[in-house]
Structure 1
Amino acid sequence: MAKIKMKTHRGAAKRFKVLKSGKVKRMKAYKSHLLTHKSSKRKRRLRKATYLEGASAKTIKRLLPYS
């Protein structure tokens, strides 16, 4: 009998990338709307990506078996 393939969690696939180093990259929240009252400095910092650590990264990697 054939081995059952794991399904990729599509929501996680759209939000996270697993890098070659094994780190999980994500974009920051609070950058989609209601931006007029946020400072330029704050919006600029929100543009940059960041990385997940520890248990969070492990959970996401489980949702993305083929990345």
Structure 2
Amino acid sequence: MPKMKTHRGAAKRFKATGTGKLKRSKAYKRHILTKKTAKNKRNLRHATMMDSTNEKVIKKMLPYL
């Protein structure tokens, strides 16, 4: 049986926590930042947990996580 391949796009976007949950970065922080408030941009900096409904699909993409 050959080794399973990791989805490279997913590997760059998600990291696993110690308990096995998935961490992701927030969207809307790339461009058009002038119209966004400082508070909004500050809150977008922090990573957040992956929603449990999507977690199963992402974990399939990352077999060695």
Q: State the TM-score, normalized to the length of structure 1.
A: 0.91
Q: Aligned pairs, how many?
A: 65
Counting aligned pairs with the same residue, the percent is 58
Distance 1:15 1:33 in 2: 18
Greater fraction of residues in strand: 1
* TM-align CA RMSD: 0.8
The corresponding residue for 1:8 is 6
Alignment of 1:28-47 (within 5 A): 28-47=26-45
Q: Which runs of 4+ in 1 moved over 4 A?
A: none
Per the TM alignment, residue 59 of structure 1 is displaced from its structure 2 partner at its CA by 0.7
Which structure is larger by alpha-carbon Rg, 1 or 2? Answer: 1
Unaligned runs of 5+ in 1: none
Does the 8 Å contact 1:18/1:61 carry over to 2?
no
Q: State the TM-score, normalized to the length of structure 2.
A: 0.93
Unaligned runs of 5+ in 2: none
Partner deviation per Cα, 1:16-56 (whole Å, 9 max, x = no partner): 01222010000000001110000000000000100112220
